[in-house]
Amino acid sequence: MTTQLSLLTPSGHLTLGNLLGALRPLAARQDAYDTRVGVADLHAMTTAHDPAALRARTRELAVLLLACGLDGSTLFVQSRVPAHRLMTCLLECVATTGELGRMVQFKEKGRAEQSTRASLFTYPVLMAADILLHAPQQVPVGDDQRQHVELTRDLARRFNRAYGPVLVVPEAVVPAAGARVMDLQRPTAKMSKSVGADDEAGVVRLLDPPDVVRRKVARAVTDSDTGADAARTERGTKPGVTNLLEVLVACGGSADGLTTYGALKKAVTDAVVAVLEPVQQRYAALLAAPDHVDEVYARGEERCREVTAPVLAAVEQALGL
């Protein structure tokens, strides 16, 4: 069975964009693939962080993955599978400073800082280790991660040339399109779970109560058009309206008969609340059953330790350890 792997960083709180664009499509495919979904807590340590906050966000994300319907997947917390850390160290012996220095994410996050953590510089190697340990034949890739997947392929090929055919070189593929959800206040930018407090107004969190959702949608950016054609799709000149319409459709609503922004926003609010309600109800039920959550992740982490151990052992042997 083909393996599909996805890791999410607990750098913030999951959003409607994460649900519609990634988690729901992932859950829809989980029965057809060997699906492994990880909480990438090690990824959250590449910049300054508060340990208590990291621990709390890790638990919240772990519970939400279950609440979003990923029961049929192998769920794990990255740091509880030690092979991820060990593989990173070994791949750092294959990567070069030149290629890591060219990575866009390092340039963007470190540009305004006088000094950054070494882990931010080597972060792409950790991502490569995550992928190569689980040996997926295909890696879904979006524009923001394409460079990291290409580095993963380069490292695997370089390792195999130098030390023997040990690592599976994954193929980068463009996944089936999920809903593309943009920030309600900045509709040309994706809705991000990592935005700061100043940007909260444009981001719908999975745990936002209905009144908060209603307020955020009501304040969403549209434009100055009025009349029968106001609520039409045109991403180039009407990105805010286009975003609301796409969210509405992705949440199962219909734009038929909507001719004003007020009507559109009410329809979007009702559709979003209807989608979030079962997720929030299941999340609350799971919080009341912590032993069940712990059992699911313990089982998933044990399986991940079993499937990654042979890959790590083969890499160590090939390197002469």
Catalytic residues: 109, 190, 193
**Cα gap 207→63, rounded to integer Å:** 12
**Cα gap 242→53, rounded to integer Å:** 35
Q: What are the tokens at 17?
A: 């964009």
Transcribe 54-106 into DSSP letters: HHHHHHHHHHHHHHTT-TTSEEEEGGGSTHHHHHHHHHTTTS-HHHHHT-HHH
Transcribe 7-52 into DSSP letters: EE--SS--BHHHIIIIIHHHHHHTTTSEEEEEE-GGGGGSS---HH
Nearest alpha carbon to residue 28 among 40, 38, 15, 19: 19
Nearest alpha carbon to residue 215 among 255, 189, 184, 190: 184
Please enumerate in sequence order all residues whose Cβ is within 8 A of that of 316, keeping only pairs 6 or more positions apart, or say none: 90
Neighbouring C-alpha atoms within 13 Å toward the C-beta of 132: 35
